[in-house]
C-alpha cells in the first residue's frame, strides 16, 4: 500500500524566501521523490503491511471510527502476528456521539499532540 503526502518547504537561503511544495510517496520500501528516486534509509521505521491512512482529503478513511469499523476488511483479525495500524493525518476529527474503542493489536497513531485532535461529545449514562 502506498500513500502520497505533500511536503511544503520554505527556503530562506537568500531574500526573498521561496516556498516549494512537492508530492512524495511513502511505501514499504521508502520514500519516492518526484524524480522517481527512492530513499530506502528513511528516518522512520518501515511502514507496517496492514495500515490505513485517515485524512480529511485523500485518505483511505475520513474518520478513525470508520477505519476501526472496517478493520476486518483491511486488516483481517488483529493479533500478535497480524498487527494493524491506523495512521491519522494532522487535523481535527469530530466524532460526534460515536466512540472510538481501542482494540488489542490495533495501534492508532496521530501526527503529533497538537496536530491531530480527536474530539466528540461524551455520553451521559
The partner residues of 14 in beta bridges, in order of sequence, read none
pTM equals 0.62
Cα separation, 65 vs 9, in Å, equals: 32
Query: What are φ and ψ of residue 29, in 5° steps?
Result: -90, -15
From the CB of residue 33, how many other CB atoms can be counted at a distance below 10 Å?
A: 14
Which one is predicted more confidently, 20 or 52? 52
Q: What digits encode the pLDDT tens for the residues 90-120?
A: 999 999 999 899 999 999 999 888 889 999 8
- pLDDT at residue number 43: 46
The partner residues of 115 in beta bridges, in order of sequence, read none
From the CB of residue 7, how many other CB atoms can be counted at a distance below 10 Å?
A: 11
What would the grid cell of residue 74 be? Answer: 483491511
Q: What digits encode the pLDDT tens for the residues 2-49?
A: 555 555 555 455 555 555 556 777 666 667 777 777 777 654 555 567
The partner residues of 92 in beta bridges, in order of sequence, read 117
Amino acid at each position: 500500500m502506498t500513500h502520497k503526502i505533500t511536503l511544503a518547504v520554505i527556503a530562506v537561503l537568500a531574500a526573498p524566501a521561496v516556498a516549494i511544495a512537492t508530492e512524495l510517496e511513502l511505501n514499504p520500501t521508502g520514500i519516492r521523490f518526484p524524480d522517481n528516486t527512492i530513499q530506502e534509509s528513511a528516518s522512520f521505521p518501515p511502514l507496517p503491511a496492514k495500515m490505513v491512512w485517515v485524512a480529511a482529503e485523500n485518505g483511505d478513511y475520513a474518520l478513525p471510527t470508520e477505519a476501526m469499523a472496517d478493520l476486518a476488511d483491511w486488516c483481517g483479525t488483529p493479533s500478535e502476528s497480524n498487527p494493524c495500524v491506523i495512521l491519522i493525518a494532522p487535523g481535527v476529527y469530530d466524532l460526534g456521539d460515536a466512540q472510538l474503542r481501542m482494540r488489542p493489536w490495533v495501534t492508532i497513531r496521530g501526527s503529533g499532540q497538537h496536530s491531530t485532535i480527536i474530539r466528540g461529545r461524551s455520553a451521559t449514562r
